[in-house]
Chain A
Amino acid sequence: MSSRKVAEALGIELVEVEDWSCCGSTPAHTVDHLLYGALAARNLAIAEKMGLATVVTPCPSCLVAFKSALEMVQDDGKRKELNELLDLPFQGEIQSKSLLQIIYEEVGVEAVAQRAKRPLEGMRLAPYYGCILTRPPKRAQFDDPENPITMDRILEALGAEVPEFPFKTECCGAAFGLPKRELVLTLSAKILEMAQEIGADALVVACPLCQQNLDLRQGQITSREGVSVDLPVLYITQLVGLALGFSPREVGLDKHAVSPNRLLKKWEEKLKE
C-alpha cells in the first residue's frame, strides 16, 4: 500500500508484472537451485517482454531470487538449462533493485526531503536493514554490507532522529518462523530489545518478512523470552509516506499488530509546536 503511494508521489511509475508468480523464496532454493532460478526468471522474462527496464521489489528475499537468476543467466550452460524450463526466452538484460535503492539512488535523499510536507520531527527511529538486503556484497551491490546507512540518511533528511543502531544487519530469524519458531523469537527479541535500549520509538524495516516477525511475534516474544517488548515496527515507505503527507490509514498504519499510535501522537504534538 505505502510502496505504491510513495512511488507515485515520487514520480516512480510502477507497472505490475502480468501474471506474476512467486519468486520461490527460501523454500525453493533450499530444495533445487535451478528451479529456484527458473521461478524468479519467469517473472523477469515476462517483465523483459513487457519492455520494462527494472524489476522493483519491496522484499529483499524476492530481490535475492531475481539477482540469483540474473547471475545464473550470465553462465551459458545455466542459461540454456533455465530457458528449457521457461515458456518465454530469458535474456537477463533486465535489472532488479529494491524500492529502497530506487528511492535512495534514483530519486535521491534531497529530492525526497524537498517533497516532505510533514517532516518526521520528534520521532526517534531505529533503522533495521535485515540480513540479505546488503549481503552478500558482491550480489547486493548496494550500501555498506555491515553498516548500511541508506535508511538512516533518508529518515534523517525527513527530520527524524536516527540513533546509532548496532543491530542493523542482524538476522530476525526470517523463514524459520514456521519450522523453528523459537529461533525467530530469540533472534527477534534481541533486535527489539536493542531498539528499546537505545530509546527508539519504532523500528524501521526494509523487508516485509522482518516486519512480520518483529511486529506479529511481540506477544510470543514477551511470553516465551521473558522480556517485555512493545515497539511498533514500520516499513520504510510507511514513514516516507507520512512525511509526504499521506494519512496513517493511507499508508496502512492501522494494520499493525503493535499499534504505532503512541509514535503518531508524539509526532503530531511535535508538529503542532
Chain B
Amino acid sequence: MRIGVFVCHCGTNIDGTVDSHQVAEEAKKFPHVVYATDYLYTCSEPGQQEIQQAVGEHDLDGVVVAACSPRMHENTFRRTIERAGLNRYMFEMANIREHCSWIGEDREANTHKAIELVRMAVAKVANHVHLHPSYFEVNKRVLVIGAGVAGMQAALDCADGGLDVVLVEKKSSIGGRMAQLDKTFPTVDCSICILGPKMVDVGQHEKIKLCTYSEIEDISGYVGNYTVNIRRKATYVDWGKCTGCGLCMEKCPSKKAYDYHNEGIADTTAINISFPQAIPKKATIDPEYCRQFTKGKCGVCAKVCPLGAIDYEMEDEIVAEEVGAIIVATGYGLLNMEELGEYGAGRYPDVITGIQYERFLNASGPTQGHVVRPSDGEEPKRVVFISCAGSRDASLDRPYCSNFCCMYIAKQAILTRDHIPDSEVYVFYMDTRSPSKGYEEFIRRAQEEYGVQYVRGRVSRIYPKGKRMVVRGADTLLGTQVEVETDLVVLATAATCAPEAEELAEKLRISYDEYGFYMESHPKLRPVETNTSGVFLAGACQGPKDIPAAVGQGSAAASKVLSLFSKDQLESDPQIAQVMELRCVGCLKCADTCPFQAIEEKELPDGRVVGHVIETVCQGCGLCTSICPSGAIQLQQCTDNQLIAEVEALCQAWRERSSG
C-alpha cells in the first residue's frame, strides 16, 4: 500500500495551535506512507491539484487528509482522488481542527494529538478496500406535511414542476395561520384575498392529492422510497357527498362548540365548516360537542342533510402512500397565555392574544370586524399591546425572539386606529425588530401617522379596575413606572413549536432543538435540508418566521426536491453493513437491532438461515455490528479489523513515546 498524507493549515485555524509541518514530517515515518506534505489550504484548488499530482507522481493508492471535520470536506477530497484515478473510498480524513486545534491551546500537546490522529487514519486506510456504489430507483412523488402558506407553496412548486404531491393537513381546511389573519404587514393587504387564490390553486391542481383532517401515523423507508401511513381522521361526514351547503350548521342544536378558527372568541356549532373560504369546503363533526356523541341522541344534521352525507359510524382510516421525498411544513404553535400569571391572562376576559385580536379585526370573524371588548361587547377606546409576552424570557425557558410580533403589533395598532378613529393605542416593547424590506418604515408610520404611543419597557402586572384594566409597567426611557388604564389588552404571546412537533420529528427521524423547532442541516448553508436524506423543511416548523420567509422556504424546499428528482436513479452509499455468510449463525439479533428495518432473513441453498442487508435501506449506523455475537456483520470501511488497526497505531504511538 502506498499512502499519501496531506496536512492542512486551514490558515491559522489549525496551524495556530498545531505545528502542521511537523505533523507531515512525522507522518512520513508511518508504515505505508510514501509521501507527506503540508499546505495552507488543502481544500483550495492548488491544494487539491497537489493531491492529484502526488497520486500520479508517487503512485499512491490511498490518501489521508488531516484537516477539518469530514462533514465539511470529505466529499470534496473523495472527488479529488477520484479525478486522480483512485477509488473514492480509498480515503480517510483525520479531523485535526474541530477535534484538536480548536479545542486546546497547548501547541505541543495539540501537535502530538494531531500526529496520533493521522497515524490512526493511515492505519485505517491501509485496511481500506475498493467500494462501489449501487444505484436504485426513485419514486418521484413527494409528501408535504402541513398546508399552511409554506406547505402550500412547496406543494404548488413541486406540482408545477411535474411531481405528484400528497399534501397532508391536520385541520379540515388548508390555509394554516395565514387564513386566520385579517391583514398582512407591511402592505396591509387582506390576508385571505392573497391566500385564497393560492388555496384554490392547491385545491384544483391535478397533481396535488389533498388529505385534510389527516395526520402522519408512521413513516418507513429511505430517500427515494418512503412509505407513509396517513391517518384520515373520522369527519363523520361523507365528503364524497357533502357539497358544503351549510344547512347542517344552521340547524345544529349544539351551538357551544369550541371555534378553533376563531381561537375561542366565539362558539361554533358541533358540525361545522371552519370558515367560508375553506378548501375543501366540507363539514366536520366535533364529537366532543355533538349531541349524537355526548348524549347518544340528536341526529338533526342527518335529518336535514339533503345528500345523506352524515355518517355517525365513520371511523379513522389508515391510508398508505409511497413517496420519494418529504417536505415538513407543520408551522408553529402559541404559548398558552395562562403561563403568564402576572398578566392575568385566562383570568381576565379583556386580556387576549394577538391571534384572537386578529379574529376581532377580521371582517369574516364573529364580530364582522367590529372590535369589541370580550367582557361586555363594548367598543374599546383604549387598547394596550404587550410585545414579548413569553418571548425573550429566560424565566419561561424561551430566550428566543418570536420574530414576527413587533410587525403584527404595528399592523394591529394601525388597524385599531382605522377601525376606531377616536381610540388611543399603546404598545409596550423591549425593542422594535423590523429588519426586512419596508418594515421599519411601517413601524414609523404606526408611530408618526397613526399616533400609536410606543412605551419602551416591560409590563409587570395587569389588574382590573372597575370595568377597565390597569397595565402597570416601566418606561425605561423616562426611567419611571407607568400605569395605563385601558379597555383591552392584547398580548403578543410567544411562538412555540407546533403541538406534537417532537413526536412527528421522531417519526421522520429528524432532529429538533430544545424548544421543539426542527433542525436544519446547516444553519447558513443548508437551511431547508435536514440530516435525514430526502426530508426537507419549510416555514415556521424550523423557527418562527413571517409569511415572506415561509413562502421563500416553501419554494426552496420544493427546488431541493425537484433537483433530487432530476435523476432517475440515486446512488447508494456503499459504506454499509455486510454479512459474512460463512460466519453468520443466523440468530438475527442484527435484524431486531436495526432501526431502519434494513436486515432481512435469507435462506441459503443448504437451508441455513442468515441475515441479509438490504443495501439501499442500510444507513451505515453500525448498531448491528456491535450486537453480532460472531462478528459476522461488518460495516464496510469501518470493520473490526480497521478499528483494531487504529487502536494498535495509537498504542504503538504511546509505546514509542513512553520509551522516549
Q: Which residues of B contact A167 (CB under 8 A)?
A: 461, 463
Interface string of A119-140 (1 = CB under 8 A from B): 0000000000000000011000
Q: Across the interface, do B342 and A147 meet the contact criterion of CB distance under 8 Å?
A: yes
The 7 sampled A-B contact pairs (Cβ below 8 Å) are A136-B395, A145-B341, A146-B342, A147-B341, A147-B342, A166-B463, A167-B461
Q: Across the interface, do A166 and B341 meet the contact criterion of CB distance under 8 Å?
A: no
Q: Which 3 A-B pairs have the closest CB atoms?
A: A146-B341, A147-B341, A166-B463
A164–B465 Cα distance when bound, in Å, is 12
Which residue of chain A has its CB nearest to the CB of B347? A164
B residues in contact (CB < 8 Å) with A: 340-342, 344, 347, 395, 461-465
Q: Across the interface, do A170 and B461 meet the contact criterion of CB distance under 8 Å?
A: yes
Asked if A10 CB lies within 8 Å of chain B CBs, one says no
Q: A166-B461, A166-B462 are in contact. List 6 more A-B contacts (CB 8 A).
A: A136-B395, A137-B395, A146-B341, A164-B347, A166-B464, A167-B463
A169–B340 Cα distance when bound, in Å, is 13
A residues in contact (CB < 8 Å) with B: 136-137, 144-147, 164, 166-167, 169-170, 194, 197
Q: Which residues of B contact A137 (CB under 8 A)?
A: 395
Please report whether the interface of chain B is mostly helix, strand, loop or mixed according to DSSP.
mixed
A146–B344 Cα distance when bound, in Å, is 9
Q: Which residues of A contact B341 (CB under 8 A)?
A: 144-147
A136–B465 Cα distance when bound, in Å, is 27
A145–B393 Cα distance when bound, in Å, is 14
A169–B460 Cα distance when bound, in Å, is 11
A254–B4 Cα distance when bound, in Å, is 94
Q: Which residues of A contact B464 (CB under 8 A)?
A: 166
A146–B347 Cα distance when bound, in Å, is 13
**Interface Cβ pair total, 8 Å cutoff:** 24
Which residue of chain B has its CB nearest to the CB of A166? B463
Which residue of chain B has its CB nearest to the CB of A147? B341
Would A194 and B340 be within 8 Å (CB), given that A137-B395, A164-B347 are in contact? no
Task: Kindly provide the distance from the CB of A103 to the nearest chain B CB, expressed in whole angstroms.
Answer: 22
Q: Which residues of A contact B344 (CB under 8 A)?
A: 147, 166
Q: Which residues of A contact B347 (CB under 8 A)?
A: 147, 164
Task: Kindly provide the distance from the CB of A179 to the nearest chain B CB, expressed in whole angstroms.
Answer: 20
Q: Which residues of B contact A166 (CB under 8 A)?
A: 344, 461-464
A70–B347 Cα distance when bound, in Å, is 36
A164–B464 Cα distance when bound, in Å, is 10
Which residue of chain B has its CB nearest to the CB of A145? B341
A144–B336 Cα distance when bound, in Å, is 15
Task: Kindly provide the distance from the CB of B170 to the nearest chain A CB, expressed in whole angstroms.
Answer: 31
Task: Kindly provide the distance from the CB of A171 to the nearest chain B CB, expressed in whole angstroms.
Answer: 10
Q: Which residues of A contact B461 (CB under 8 A)?
A: 166-167, 170
A169–B464 Cα distance when bound, in Å, is 15
Q: Across the interface, do B342 and A194 meet the contact criterion of CB distance under 8 Å?
A: no
A238–B185 Cα distance when bound, in Å, is 57
Which residue of chain A has its CB nearest to the CB of B462? A166
Which residue of chain B has its CB nearest to the CB of A169? B342
Which residue of chain B has its CB nearest to the CB of A170? B461
Task: Kindly provide the distance from the CB of B395 to the nearest chain A CB, expressed in whole angstroms.
Answer: 7
Task: Kindly provide the distance from the CB of B653 to the nearest chain A CB, expressed in whole angstroms.
Answer: 36
For B340, B463, B464, which residue has the most chain A Cβ atoms within 10 angstroms?
B463
Task: Kindly provide the distance from the CB of B485 to the nearest chain A CB, expressed in whole angstroms.
Answer: 14
A146–B461 Cα distance when bound, in Å, is 9
Task: Kindly provide the distance from the CB of B415 to the nearest chain A CB, expressed in whole angstroms.
Answer: 29
A136–B461 Cα distance when bound, in Å, is 16
Task: Kindly provide the distance from the CB of B487 to the nearest chain A CB, expressed in whole angstroms.
Answer: 17
A164–B439 Cα distance when bound, in Å, is 41
A166–B342 Cα distance when bound, in Å, is 9
For B341, B342, B344, B461, which residue has the most chain A Cβ atoms within 10 angstroms?
B341
Q: Which residues of B contact A170 (CB under 8 A)?
A: 461
